[in-house]
Amino acid sequence: MPKQTWIVDQKDRLDTFLSTKLQVAKNQVLQLIKAGCVRLNGGACSKGGVGVKLGDVLEIWSIQPQESQPLSLPPLDLEIIYEDEDILVINKPPHLVVHHASSVKEATLVDYLQARGYALSTLSGALRYGIVHRLDKDTSGVLVVAKNNASHAHLATQLKSKQMGRYYLAILSEPLNNPVSVACHLGRHPNNRLKMTNLDALRTPIRGGKMSKTHFVPLITGTNQTQLICAKLETGRTHQIRAHLESLNRHIVGDPLYGQKDSYAGRILLHAYLLYVTHPKDGRKLLFKANMLKDMLQYLENHFEGMSWDGLESSIGDLFGSIAG
């Protein structure tokens, strides 16, 4: 099993020391401790709050994937945008859950990656190997996966410090009049636990939630008042784009949870289009594009007369090209 050894160079709590050295969140350190992967001066550790002092020796092993029966997975056409020994960048198709949870019964992206023999980081613990950030089941687009723990730690730090970010494309059922930003505390809807909502805007405000911010830019409006927009995330909360649009009384086509049921029977038309990131090993500034999938392209062709996707794509590139530099 891969092992790292650290000589403690300052007095601190065990979980705080390892969180700083490994550049991961404390909950990830606690997963390692709980799994028996941390030893202090040769002895097992069971609590993150134990104190460490100068000269103590810490040994940390990676969490190892549990042996399981091979899954019988249906075919999946998975587009690989970029791959090296540290990261894997894909264009995630819709109708695919990224990783397992208690409510997930179907095969996940992690299952497919493991079945294809990809080496994945283990810092996120069981069932989330390699996953640094996620996309909702029916959202398509660019996703970066960590292939080792050092890359995972580096990418997680970038995500937290906003050195890594994403731009989304979405098709709205009613247009925005101008560019607009939404900043609010986002939390569970008090009357519908499946939804997130702007807690600050409730008639009776609810304390709590997490701060969230999204920028929205209209791109082109169709003949039936549908509109293609771009969304830039400043934070990465659950259902953030959908909940923020609902607070503006706008909704994504194909999203009955946050919008209205309409004649469109397809999935939610939301796509993670661009991802910018610093390579975890060599420090290169990278920009990845996930081509829009054919269901969204078909909708645009049917509802936006005379639209040239090549011309629109060029406009989007001009609009956000500054991040590549």
pLDDT score, position 24: 66
Give CA–CA dist 165/258, Å, rounded. Answer: 24
Low-confidence ranges of the chain (pLDDT < 50): 1, 66-70, 322-325
Do residues 134 and 155 touch, judged by C-beta distance below 8 A?
no
Do residues 274 and 166 touch, judged by C-beta distance below 8 A?
yes
Rounded to the nearest angstrom, the gap between the alpha carbon of residue 192 and the centroid of all alpha carbons in its chain is 23
Q: What is the pTM of this model?
A: 0.78
Please give the DSSP secondary-structure letter assigned to residue 107. Answer: -
pLDDT score, position 121: 82
User: pLDDT digit string (tens) for 117-164?
Assistant: 888 887 766 667 888 888 999 999 999 999 988 898 889 889 888 899
Rounded to the nearest angstrom, the gap between the alpha carbon of residue 241 and the centroid of all alpha carbons in its chain is 12
pLDDT score, position 257: 93
**Closest among 103, 100, 104, 111 to 74, alpha carbons compared:** 111
- Compute φ and ψ for 129, nearest 5 degrees: -55, 125
pLDDT score, position 193: 87
pLDDT score, position 210: 92
pLDDT score, position 319: 58
pLDDT score, position 92: 96
**Closest among 75, 41, 71 to 56, alpha carbons compared:** 41
Q: Which residues, listed in sequence order, are joined to residue 183 by a DSSP beta bridge?
A: 213
Q: Which of 12, 56, 136, 200 is catalytic?
A: 136
Residue listed under structure tokens 């549908």 = 226
**Closest among 90, 147, 101, 27 to 293, alpha carbons compared:** 90
pLDDT score, position 324: 40
User: pLDDT digit string (tens) for 63-108?
Assistant: 655 444 445 677 888 999 999 999 999 999 999 998 877 677 788 8
**Which spans in the chain are helix H?**
14-22, 26-34, 109-115, 149-161, 240-247, 294-303, 309-320
Active site residue 12: no
**Closest among 154, 262, 233, 241 to 198, alpha carbons compared:** 241
Give CA–CA dist 16/84, Å, rounded. Answer: 31
pLDDT score, position 308: 63
